[in-house]
């Protein structure tokens, strides 16, 4: 099962600045090395400030593009780490070892969410319809 550990943004990350505490990077590097050594690390990356991103809002059948930055800083994501583990408790144990994201003395928050697996979706009529189309396409293809 896969879990995503998300680091919540703060004013520093939203300003695109590096944390004042320069031990943060060393702690992050060590932690991710440990994940890799244990064979559980799938992916990890930091996200640029929301000022470089945008949102698209869907409402009443219309969509509107809204440029960043966005004000509600603590609702934003500054980075994520994707792990594959054997149990929810193992994910909890790895999350517990995650270093304070903005330094030991700075406030910070991480959030952990489990990913859906393909098997979590029951076979649906629309997927079956799609599959039949695929098969026909292949049958009709020149060999």
Q: How far is the CB of 81 from another protein (least distance, A)?
A: 13
Residues 6+ apart with CB under 8 A from 44: 32, 35, 79, 80, 81, 82
Which is closer to another protein, CB of 38 or CB of 66? 38
Counting every residue, how long is the chain? 143
- In the complex, the residues that contact another protein under the rule CB under 8 A are 36-43, 82, 84, 86-87, 89-90, 92-94, 118-119, 123, 128, 130-131, 134-135, 138, 141-143
57 vs 143, which CB is nearer to another protein?
143
Q: Count of CB atoms within 10 A of residue 71's CB? A: 9
Closer by beta carbon to another protein, 47 or else 95: 95
User: How far apart are CB 29 and another protein at their closest, in Å?
Assistant: 12
User: Of the candidates 64, 101, 63, which has an alpha carbon nearest to the alpha carbon of residue 80?
Assistant: 101
């Amino acid at each position: 099962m896969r879990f995503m550990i998300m680091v919540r943004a703060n004013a520093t990350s939203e300003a695109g600045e590096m944390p004042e505490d320069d031990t943060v990077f060393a702690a992050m590097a060590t932690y991710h090395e440990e994940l890799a050594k244990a064979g559980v690390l799938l992916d990890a990356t930091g996200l640029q400030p929301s000022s470089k991103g945008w949102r698209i809002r869907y409402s009443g059948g219309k969509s509107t593009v809204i440029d960043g930055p966005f004000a509600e800083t603590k609702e934003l994501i500054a980075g994520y780490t994707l792990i594959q583990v054997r149990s929810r408790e193992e994910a909890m144990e790895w999350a517990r070892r995650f270093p304070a994201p903005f330094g030991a003395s700075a406030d910070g928050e991480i959030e952990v969410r489990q990913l859906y697996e393909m098997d979590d979706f029951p076979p649906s009529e629309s997927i079956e319809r799609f599959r039949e189309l695929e098969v026909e396409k292949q049958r009709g293809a020149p060999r």
